[in-house]
A and B are shown apart, each in its own frame.
Chain A
Amino acid sequence: MLPQDLKPEQFTGYPTQARTLAVDNISILRELPLSFLPNLLREVIEYDYKFPLERQEIHEEISTLGALPAAQLREWFRPFRELSLPTSLERFDWLNQPAQFVEQLAAHLWSTHQMDLFRKAATEYGERIRAATPPTHPPIPRLGISIIGQDLSSYDGVLFRNLREHGTFFSNINPENGLRQLLDGATARAQAHPVPYGHWYVEGGRSMDHSSMLTFVSYKELEPARLALLRTMHTEIRRPGMGPEELRTDLAALQPAAVGLDNPGDAVLNHFQLKVLTEGSGTQIFSTTFAQWTAREALRRAQPLTLLVRFGPRQRERSMNELLSSTDDHSEPDLRGSLIDADMGAYYNWINQQRLPGANQSSFLAWFEGSSQAIAIGPSFARGASSKSKATLEEVLHWAGV
């Protein structure tokens, strides 16, 4: 089937709001080339489980396309139409399995050396959409907080190496009540600016008491879901004919309830957590990877105003097969390795925060938990500077103006 053959009744497999969105805009969907449309449908089919800003962006993208004159629409999608696709992809059920189609499309593009052309087409399209739909700026400057080194008492290496050139390094922080001060700072922002999914607390280790106003995701609390997922994966791979692509297809079709993610009050967060576990490589086994990937996805998708990420200790390296096979991940932690992972993870958290609208007003703070070392980045802090002044984390937050 080709996009031009789309009919409203074919969207019956879509969740309620996604179906309405697709049917209401079917005339524009019919105009899009097969090398592009499933990429958009992959977002549309998840609409019911998207964060508010994601929904807004899907609406804006479709509205923009719908408002284009026919000639301009053809011009925008000419590079996509020039890609050569096999008929096997036309026969694929891309309407109901857009994500799986995109995987097969990617494999085809790689094998036919068209990936660079696709990448260029996607880049140009992204620029055009962004020009047509200016980003939504946050109501208050964003704040990112990364806490690293849980349970490690000291470290003799250099921390925050990638971040130092962008902000001020503090070497005389008073660590007392530091965790509480940072969490209270995040909570205060959530209370002052209550926005759905606007303020997050991601925990990679032992969780702290926190306000219900914070969207909370925890590696430890997801342990039943992680283990259920690993069991599912092991069952799947023993089926005849299974391979990596088949497994990904099956995981993409998995529903949160299948791994026990059935919080009735928050289907959006249930789906988000499932995707972190099924789409993030290493998130099922290493808490540091889980925290970094969760932060990346939260920033990319929910665009929070506040994101506090506390990295926890991850288990020591064992063979990958052993790690994935094990139902017990309470092995001895690798504290030093976890700190190094988290140091890089903090850097990535900052990079990903800076990709969002309002980046020049955003602030970021990273702290080696329990220590005197922290780095602060933002309009209030000098770049490439260091400070030996005594300070509390509460004061640093205050200086950040957040």
Chain B
Amino acid sequence: MQKLFAGQTFSGPSLRGVAQELSSSRRDFLRSAAGMVLGGAFAGASPFLYAGPVKKRKVIVVTFGGGARDQETFAPSGQENIPHLLQELIPQASFFTQVVNRGILGHYVATASLATGVYETLNNFASVPPDHPTVFEYFRKDLKRPPTDAWVVAPSNGFSRIGESVSRPYGPGWGAQVILPKHLLLAAMSGATVDYEHLLRDNYETPLFAPQLGGNEFELQQLEKMLKLSVSDFKSYARTLSSPDELSIYVVQQLMRQQAPSLIWITMHDIDVAHTGAYSLYIDSIRRTDRLCAELWKMVQSDPEYAGNTTMLILPDFGRDSDGEAGGNGFQHHRTGDPSSRTTWMMALGSGVREGVIYDHPVQSTDLVPTLGSILGFQAKLSQGRPIQDLL
């Protein structure tokens, strides 16, 4: 057996015990810092009963990635890194303190699991589609929505196939349009990338590998057709941005303005710079992601197509290793499968969501898709999760 540390104590609290501690810590902190109340007081009262006349319901899912720990976010020591979440978004939100991911802790496979409601087992580093139907396929097929009504904006080439599974009777033809902003930028640059290298980072777990693209990726010619952006305008604006996630949010903004899709899925990834081991870069990325989430919510509020009828859900795909786990190296990776790397949170805000409420009970990553089904009106028949009743 590989030696960890001599004298290291393996005994400790159970996985469930530590997960509950993390959950309690988030709960206590939010109750004191943001004045939130426990969700139990509202049992049985559906906010949708009081939602009034409903425009066409829209949902935006944001994965707060790739993985941030409590001590840098929701623990007291981390609050300085997430001022926008704490002061602007959480007071409007329902907050779930304990979202457990029991699947594989790689970003592509975990995001695919979030999108299918099944713990997928595909190769994290290959450009392959999920085995089970995605939320986009359920949404489009059940509700007979056109291809332009479901979109994914994803950080790296590895996510190019996430919009559509190989599952029958869903699969080809029922998925989401996938935009890979970096791929788009690279195509727009025609090979001259010197001024844009900072926006073209692909992934941090295996930085030398960017899978070959295939499938339903966004084509350059659609830049003008779908986003109504000229190549030169896109390049000019991109030059003003500092990170890949900023580029993603810019693309989402264009998408909302030009296509106003009902289902948008954005995968943030800047935080995964932690794999380089540089703590300051990890912290900078958390702060940037915090800011971008707030900017996105402002875009929603200021867009007539989205204001008042949009539910936004923000959740990490998973966490990162704890400092106390001898098999890992703290914030740098998510390899140990310890409770810190498996236990995260979720924030829901907007249409149909109770404001300022904390829910303490555990939910699973796979519960997201059936919950979206209940909100939007489709059935996630092959999902392993269950709808989160507090959001229905």
Contact with A along B5-17 (1 / 0, CB 8 A): 1111011000100
CB-based contact B206/A296 at 8 Å: no
CB-based contact B6/A281 at 8 Å: no
Question: When chains A and B are docked, how far (Å) is the Cα of A125 from the Cα of B209?
Answer: 36
Q: Is A341 positioned at the interface, with any CB of B under 8 Å from its CB?
A: yes
CB-based contact A356/B6 at 8 Å: yes
Q: Which of A39-47, A174-182, A216-224, A372-380 contacts B (4 or more CB under 8 A)?
A: A39-47
With a CB–CB cut-off of 8 A, which chain A residues contact B126? Answer: 243
Of the residues A112, A293, A355, contact of B277 by C-beta under 8 Å: A293
Q: Which residue of B lies closest to A359 (CB)?
A: B7
Cβ < 8 Å to B, chain A residues 336-361: 336-341, 343-345, 347-348, 351-352, 355-357, 359
CB-based contact A244/B206 at 8 Å: yes
CB-based contact B323/A348 at 8 Å: yes
Cβ < 8 Å to A, chain B residues 241-278: 273, 275-278
| Chain A nearest CB, measured from B275 CB (Å) | 5
| Chain B nearest CB, measured from A32 CB (Å) | 10
Identify the interface centre among A39, A135, A282, A286: most chain B CB within 10 Å of its CB. Answer: A282
Q: Is B61 positioned at the interface, with any CB of A under 8 Å from its CB?
A: no
Q: Inter-chain contact count A-B, CB under 8 Å? A: 158
Tell me the interface secondary structure of chain B in the complex: loop
With a CB–CB cut-off of 8 A, which chain B residues contact A122? Answer: 1
Identify the interface centre among B125, B126, B329, B331: most chain A CB within 10 Å of its CB. Answer: B329
Q: Is B381 positioned at the interface, with any CB of A under 8 Å from its CB?
A: no
Contact with A along B169-207 (1 / 0, CB 8 A): 000000000000000000000000000011011101111
CB-based contact B5/A300 at 8 Å: yes
Of the residues B6, B102, B278, contact of A303 by C-beta under 8 Å: B6
Q: Which of A87-95, A191-199, A260-268, A317-325 contacts B (4 or more CB under 8 A)?
A: A317-325
CB-based contact B4/A286 at 8 Å: no
Q: Is A187 positioned at the interface, with any CB of B under 8 Å from its CB?
A: no
With a CB–CB cut-off of 8 A, which chain B residues contact A303? Answer: 6
Contact with B along A41-61 (1 / 0, CB 8 A): 011000000000110010001
Cβ < 8 Å to A, chain B residues 47-90: 77
Known: A116-B337, A130-B7. A289 touches B198 (CB 8 A): no
Question: When chains A and B are docked, how far (Å) is the Cα of A282 from the Cα of B204?
Answer: 10
Q: Is B353 positioned at the interface, with any CB of A under 8 Å from its CB?
A: no
Cβ < 8 Å to B, chain A residues 204-218: none
With a CB–CB cut-off of 8 A, which chain A residues contact B278? Answer: 282, 286, 288-289, 314, 317, 337, 341
Known: A110-B104, A340-B280. A355 touches B208 (CB 8 A): no
| Chain A nearest CB, measured from B286 CB (Å) | 13
Question: When chains A and B are docked, how far (Å) is the Cα of A289 from the Cα of B273?
Answer: 12
Question: When chains A and B are docked, how far (Å) is the Cα of A161 from the Cα of B148?
Answer: 49
Of the residues B197, B205, B280, B284, contact of A319 by C-beta under 8 Å: B197
With a CB–CB cut-off of 8 A, which chain B residues contact A352? Answer: 5
Known: A122-B1, A289-B278, A341-B279. A321 touches B119 (CB 8 A): no
Known: A122-B1, A351-B323. A341 touches B200 (CB 8 A): no
Known: A286-B277, A321-B201. A126 touches B4 (CB 8 A): yes
Q: Is B232 positioned at the interface, with any CB of A under 8 Å from its CB?
A: no
CB-based contact B208/A321 at 8 Å: yes
Give the size category of B's interface with A. Answer: 35 or more
Cβ < 8 Å to B, chain A residues 13-63: 36, 39-40, 42-43, 53-54, 57, 61
Question: When chains A and B are docked, how far (Å) is the Cα of A286 from the Cα of B332?
Answer: 13
| Chain A nearest CB, measured from B180 CB (Å) | 15
Question: When chains A and B are docked, how far (Å) is the Cα of A53 from the Cα of B7?
Answer: 13
Q: Is B121 positioned at the interface, with any CB of A under 8 Å from its CB?
A: yes
Q: Which residue of A lies closest to B210 (CB)?
A: A321
| Chain B nearest CB, measured from A257 CB (Å) | 23
CB-based contact A125/B1 at 8 Å: yes
Cβ < 8 Å to A, chain B residues 1-55: 1-8, 10-11, 15
CB-based contact B277/A292 at 8 Å: yes
| Residues in A lying within 8 Å of B, measured CB to CB | 36, 39-40, 42-43, 53-54, 57, 61, 102, 110-113, 115-116, 119, 122-127, 129-130, 135-136, 161, 233-234, 237, 243-245, 247, 280-283, 285-286, 288-289, 292-293, 296, 299-301, 303, 314, 317-322, 324, 334, 336-341, 343-345, 347-348, 351-352, 355-357, 359
Ordered by A's residue number, 14 sampled pairs between the chains whose C-beta atoms are within 8 Å are: A102-B2, A243-B125, A243-B126, A243-B209, A280-B277, A281-B275, A286-B278, A289-B278, A292-B329, A319-B200, A320-B276, A340-B280, A341-B278, A347-B323
Lowest 5 A-B CB distances belong to which pairs?
A: A289-B277, A340-B280, A355-B5, A337-B280, A282-B276
